[in-house]
């Protein structure tokens, strides 16, 4: 079974930390969302810099 994690931290650093922990824990993917001033692709780029093997995705409709 594959598991993904939606990153919900309010700060970019918090999302980077959560993405790195998800990567280390063996999650298959991490996902970002977009909400007012929290641009999803910026947060996704930060997650990419903090991970090595997880797949990245946006939860933007």
State both tokens at 26: 């063996």
Task: Tokens 């594959």: give the residue.
Answer: 2
Domain-by-domain residue ranges, the chain? Answer: 4-58
| Helical spans, DSSP H, in 26-55 | 40-50
pLDDT above 90 as % of the chain: 62
Beta partners for 35? Answer: 38
What confidence tens digit (pLDDT) does each residue in 12-37 have? 999 999 999 999 999 999 999 887 77
The packing angle between helices 40-50 and 12-25, to 10°, is: 50
Residue 11, both tokens: 């700060």
Counting Cα atoms < 13 Å in the Cβ hemisphere of 59 gives 14
pTM, 2 dp? 0.87
């Amino acid at each position: 079974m594959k598991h993904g994690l939606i990153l919900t931290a309010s700060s970019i650093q918090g999302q980077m930390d959560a993405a790195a922990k998800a990567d280390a824990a063996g999650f298959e993917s991490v996902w970002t969302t977009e909400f007012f001033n929290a641009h999803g692709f910026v947060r996704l780029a930060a997650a990419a810099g903090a991970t090595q093997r997880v797949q990245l995705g946006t939860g933007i409709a």
